[in-house]
Each structure stands twice: as structure tokens, then as C-alpha cells.
């Protein structure tokens, strides 16, 4: 089916008190796996291509995003296309040209005033093209050397930031950490509820791969409306790939890549079943 705007998926999640899951796509196999998982569970999802994935593909986002769009068009599932953790303004502004209905513009490593100014400018320009914009007030743990989940977003500062930048969603620091390979993060659900009450845009959880299932359900119940997964899928993919390569006969890469794709399908389907219909206690 045609790509669905991220804004439409988010509006429905806010109305229903559920969450939209965003899955990071690195290869074609990831996109195919997410589409199959959504078909299996009758749930929507966001195909998210990060700035790091763009760098991996020789700094050219077009081929991977075109492949994602083709997968979505061939699928019966509602899928949106999103640019994630974009630090470069020029790349962010290319979102409409690249078929993306949303961008996470990440100026979180800049000083606060510069973050606000750049995010506000990018958000205003993207809104002219109908692009939904997510941003981050301060760096969430575990990204590019910050290996701590102790960062916390202040509700008052969050409200000021949303008003000043005009963004459509806010990624917040509540105890998760990027690139965790163990699911041991402890989320601050009271803070999630306080942030939900302080801002008038949906909250986004990054670093979700390190959060246990029950804590993810609680996060949605307390107000998280977009949940991002990357490392969790990659762990499933690479584990299946290693298992496949343990038999050292044969040279066909499709065997390992296919095993990885199946593992990501199963993992994404489990997460969709867990979270997309989680009831809200808001």
C-alpha cells in the first residue's frame, strides 16, 4: 500500500493511548522483515533510516530509502518512512524529496541555545513541506560515548523547548540508553507521566532496545507514544547470521541474510504484539 504519513500514525496512537514503533533499517532485509512483521500482526510501523545508516551507504540516502518505499508499496501494512537522528540540516531538508514524511532532527550535542535556534529553523522549513518533526532536548545516554542512563529531561525545560522550537514530538531521557545489548534499563515512569503532562506533543523513547518488556508496556501506559528500536533488531539479525555461518560449507550469502531477516521479522512481530495495543492509564 502507499506510504502512510508518520503524522497520521502518531495522531491515531495519541487518540488510542497506544504507541507507534519505529524500527531502524540498515539493509533491505531489515525493511522486508519489518513489513512482514506488520503484516503478521496487523500493526503499523515506521521504517527509520538513521544518519549513521546513511553514512554506511556512502552518504547517499536515496537507494536505501527508495528500497524502503518499494517494500512499503508492495506490502499490505501501513508503513511510514522516517529519517532518524539527522545532524545535518541539508539532509533533514531533503526529507520530502527522499519520500520521508518525518525527520528526527538531532541538535542535542550543541549548546542549548544553538540547539533551540537550529531546531526551530529546521522545523519551520520542514513544516512548510508538511514534514513531521521530532527533536531532542539533550543527549540521551549511550550515544557517541555517553555510556550512562542517568540523564533526565526536566519537564519545565521540555515545555519551554517545545514552545520555542515548534516540534511535533520530543525524544526524552528517562533512563534508557542507546546501543544496550542487555535489557536491564530502568525507566522513570513518574518522570514520563510528568513530561506527558508538561508538553502538548507526543513523547518518544530512544534506546528502547535495553528496556525489558514490562517496562516498555509501563512506558506506553504512562505516555510514551513512539518507541524506537535498533540494537534489539540487529542483535537478533547477527545472532541468526552467526548461527547460519557456523556451518562453514557453502558460499551463498542468502542463507545467512535470510536467517537474519527471519529473526528480525520474529523480533519485530513480538514487539508489535506487546506494545501497539497497550492500554493507557493516562
- Enumerate the active-site residues: 84
User: Contact at 8 Å (CB) between 213 and 187?
Assistant: no
Pairwise CA distance, residues 135 & 28, whole Å: 26
Pairwise CA distance, residues 54 & 92, whole Å: 12
Pairwise CA distance, residues 25 & 71, whole Å: 12
β strands within 115-253, DSSP E: 132-136, 169-171, 203-205, 224-229
> Judging by beta carbons within 10 Å of its beta carbon (0-12, 13-18, 19+), is residue 61 exposed, middle or buried?
buried
Pairwise CA distance, residues 104 & 248, whole Å: 41
User: Contact at 8 Å (CB) between 269 and 41?
Assistant: yes
User: Which three cell numbers, joined as nine digits, stand for 205?
Assistant: 523513547
Pairwise CA distance, residues 157 & 201, whole Å: 14
Four-point Cα dihedral 94, 99, 104, 109, nearest 10: -30
User: Contact at 8 Å (CB) between 23 and 32?
Assistant: no
User: What is the 8-class DSSP label of residue 183?
Assistant: -
User: Which three cell numbers, joined as nine digits, stand for 24?
Assistant: 531502524
Amino acid at each position: 500500500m502507499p506510504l502512510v504519513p508518520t503524522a497520521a500514525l502518531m495522531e491515531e496512537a495519541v487518540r488510542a493511548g497506544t504507541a507507534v514503533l519505529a524500527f531502524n533499517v540498515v539493509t533491505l532485509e531489515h525493511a522486508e522483515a519489518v513489513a512482514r512483521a506488520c503484516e503478521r500482526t496487523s500493526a503499523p510501523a515506521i521504517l527509520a533510516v538513521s544518519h549513521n545508516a546513511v553514512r554506511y551507504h556512502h552518504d547517499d540516502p536515496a537507494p536505501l530509502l527508495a528500497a524502503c518505499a518499494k517494500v512499503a508499496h508492495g506490502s499490505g501494512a501501513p508503513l511510514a518512512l522516517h529519517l532518524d537522528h539527522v545532524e545535518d540540516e541539508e539532509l533533514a531538508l531533503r526529507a520530502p524529496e527522499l519520500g520521508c514524511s518525518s525527520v528526527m532532527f538531532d541538535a542535542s550535542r550543541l549548546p542549548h541555545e544553538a540547539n533551540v535556534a537550529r531546531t526551530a529553523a529546521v522545523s519551520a522549513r520542514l513544516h512548510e513541506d508538511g514534514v513531521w518533526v521530532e527533536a531532542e532536548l539533550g543527549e540521551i545516554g549511550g550515544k557517541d560515548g555517553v555510556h550512562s542512563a542517568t540523564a533526565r529531561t526536566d519537564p519545565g525545560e521540555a515545555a519551554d523547548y517545545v514552545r520555542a522550537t515548534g516540534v511535533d514530538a520530543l525524544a526524552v531521557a528517562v533512563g534508557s540508553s542507546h546501543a544496550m545489548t542487555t535489557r536491564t534499563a530502568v525507566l522513570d515512569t513518574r518522570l514520563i507521566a510528568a513530561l506527558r503532562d508538561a508538553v502538548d506533543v507526543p513523547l518518544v523513547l530512544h534506546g528502547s532496545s535495553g528496556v525489558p518488556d514490562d517496562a516498555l508496556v509501563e512506558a506506553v501506559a504512562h505516555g510514551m507514544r513512539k518507541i524506537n528500536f535498533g540494537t534489539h533488531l540487529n542483535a537478533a539479525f547477527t545472532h541468526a547470521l552467526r548461527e547460519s555461518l557456523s556451518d562453514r560449507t557453502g558460499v551463498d550469502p542468502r542463507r545467512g541474510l535470510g536467517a537474519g531477516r527471519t529473526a528480525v521479522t520474529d523480533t519485530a512481530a513480538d514487539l508489535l504484539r506487546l506494545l501497539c495495543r497497550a492500554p493507557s492509564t493516562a
